[in-house]
Structure 1
């Protein structure tokens, strides 16, 4: 069936799943994970899960229980430890909240914000040289892009290059990069009185973070937010990112602009 884990992906992710040596053995992990990924990719309600994956309640309960236990976040962090930190790109993407996901009191506490188009949420992401996610976060749709910049860039490594759009053109962000020993290549705003060093050529590599958002939004459960709880929606974003890492390690999604990233690395050290 479509969207199922390949043998290589299952071999890679299996050791990172919780171990249950005692008690009643749980339902086949691979079948349940395939059911969760089917919901992620298709965007269908849990009740529409095909019978091949077993009862939908089993998949849903496993998804929520492991989310609460931090399993998805740990797998994401474990895979992201191998990221190429020579170039890091930060950006955001707005997602429309479906009407079924807005039926909760005090939407603001669930990272939902109201604008002209209705309720929206905003995904914040930091990706590496290959366009693979390293850090993820979620806010309301009307939040400024740089609201979580300090948190997401806290692991910026010395000698790396930070690429971002004009929304991150603030002195404190540039100072943060300098304190971390990194180089910030951010286009200056038109109202800046003092000139800022900026390379349009290096900035071209920033399209990788845009491609990342495009890839995870192939998953309908990410492209439109159906979840009332922000924690559940962020877990789906993490699962989509985990799948990107697994496919990259399997050699399916090789970075299309590796040569460009190599040029960025060379120029950033000169």
Structure 2
């Protein structure tokens, strides 16, 4: 008998969201969701999904259909609670791509790049003042954090403070943040001659919140190591992990 992780309270939240988006529902819907979460938690191949949950083809087809439609991203925006945007933290983290993640079909986006760690994907994450995920982007591992900062700020919208490490010290990032009415709390690089009067050591010391969020996401082995060939499928797994974190927070 496979271990279940979806409580009645969590399933009620998920089921209401599925109903809101008109997802197909069946008597086996909860077991199918358990099977998808089992795959996310273990990182095992789809073919190894326990038979007592549902046939593996059913779980894969349901997940793939949702990923193709972008529904799992919609799920997290519906399930997440009230965001505390007084402080917003951004950072990036490398994810090693398993050899099975290679070989995406021609024309399909993979977002797997080469870095010092080999074949990697990078998660660029924004979290709120409570350390819960707001949104994210994924790129190849060779993409520097600062190249995605503007996109993250656009996804966040508005906040009072934007806290990031010195890798984000760029005049363009500072300008984008201020255009969104954010006060950047970013240390200057060692060779910078500009005065950083807005820097707040206390807020910068809270950057562990975004690191904690990455640690929580990487409890899911399907996130800690990338097994998905397609970018949209890995991104959907990330959205599902974020949704589960939000559900457990309520």
TM-score by length of 2: 0.92
| CA drift at 1:48 | 0.7
Equivalent pair of 2:88/2:128 in contact (CA under 8 Å): yes
Counterpart position of 1:124: 124
Give the match's secondary structure for 1:153.
helix
| CA drift at 1:80 | 3.8
Matches within 5 A, 1:241-256: 241-249=242-250
Equivalent pair of 1:156/1:180 in contact (CA under 8 Å): no
Q: CA–CA distance in 1 between the matches of 2:107 and 2:95?
A: 15
Matches within 5 A, 1:70-149: 70-80=70-80, 82-104=82-104, 109-149=109-149
Q: CA–CA distance in 1 between the matches of 2:56 and 2:158?
A: 46
Q: 1:107 to 1:138 in 2, by over 3 A?
A: farther
In structure 2, the gaps of 5 or more residues are none
Matches within 5 A, 1:113-262: 113-156=113-156, 158=158, 160-197=160-197, 198-249=199-250
Counterpart position of 1:265: none
Give the match's secondary structure for 1:83.
coil
Q: 1:238 to 1:15 in 2, by over 3 A?
A: same
Instruction: Pick which of 132-141 and 143-152 moved more.
Output: 143-152
Q: Would you say 1:19 and 2:15 are equivalent positions?
A: no
Q: CA–CA distance in 1 between the matches of 2:105 and 2:155?
A: 35
Q: What do the CA deviations read for 1:125-159 (whole angstroms, capped 9, x no partner)?
A: 11001111111111000101022211211154555
Give the match's secondary structure for 1:53.
coil
Equivalent pair of 1:156/1:177 in contact (CA under 8 Å): no
| CA drift at 1:73 | 0.6
Q: CA–CA distance in 1 between the matches of 2:158 and 2:226?
A: 36
Equivalent pair of 1:107/1:113 in contact (CA under 8 Å): no
| CA drift at 1:222 | 0.4
Give the match's secondary structure for 1:51.
coil
In structure 1, the gaps of 5 or more residues are 250-270
Equivalent pair of 2:80/2:247 in contact (CA under 8 Å): no
Give the match's secondary structure for 1:84.
coil
